[in-house]
Amino acid sequence: MFRSRRPKSFWNKLRDWIWPRAGVVRSSRYMMHRLARMRATPHKLALGFAAGAFASFTPFVGFHFIIAAIVAAIARGNLIASAVGTVVGNPITFPFIWLASYNLGSVLLGQSSKESIELTPMQISAPLFSEGPITVLTGLWIKMEPVLYPMLLGGSLLGLLCAVACYGFVRSAIKQCKSYAAKRKTAAA
């Protein structure tokens, strides 16, 4: 009944997912209103969102939701808001996050930031069948270790800074949304 007469094609859906048709500002405003409608204090919602933003700076892509949930549970923040907070790390921001994290970590560890990982699928899959998974994982760890430590250190520090900034922004935005909703509710009554 409420569907469009012409369904969106795959490419239009993909474009809308990457860059919303209504704009990024409107989408982020909608997300703030959704967070404000949750039954939690602005402090807990902002803590949860900050936990998600922090998790986005870790190099463990694919585990951001889990890391965000653990950090939110430790900080006693909202778990759903922590999942929403992982939107800070997305395909557009990840290259910048990774580069900044690696460079900061390299500087703090006193390393040169010229390390690179050169792995081909053949280097991973060939030993898997001939030598076993333990040997492959050991080889991957040896290749990844020079890059993982700087990214973890730099990402933790940058993630902490981003989490503090997100906490302040989200808490004030949610307070404004909730006070606006309360004013509307009293005016309607």
Q: Could you read off the pLDDT of 52-111 as tens digits, one per residue?
A: 999 999 988 889 999 999 999 999 999 989 998 998 988 888 889 988 998 899 888 887
Q: Tell me the pLDDT tens digit for each residue of 102-153.
A: 889 988 888 775 655 555 555 555 555 566 667 767 777 777 778 888 899 9
Give domain status of residue 62, yes or no. yes
Structural domains of the chain, count: 1
CA distance 39 to 87: 21
Give domain status of residue 1, yes or no. no
Domain extent at residue 94? 22-188
Give domain status of residue 69, yes or no. yes
Question: 25-64 b/e with 16+ CB inside 10 Å = b?
Answer: eeeeeeebeebbebebebebbbbbbbbbbbbbbbbeeeeb
With a cut of 70, say whether residue 30 has pLDDT above it. Answer: yes
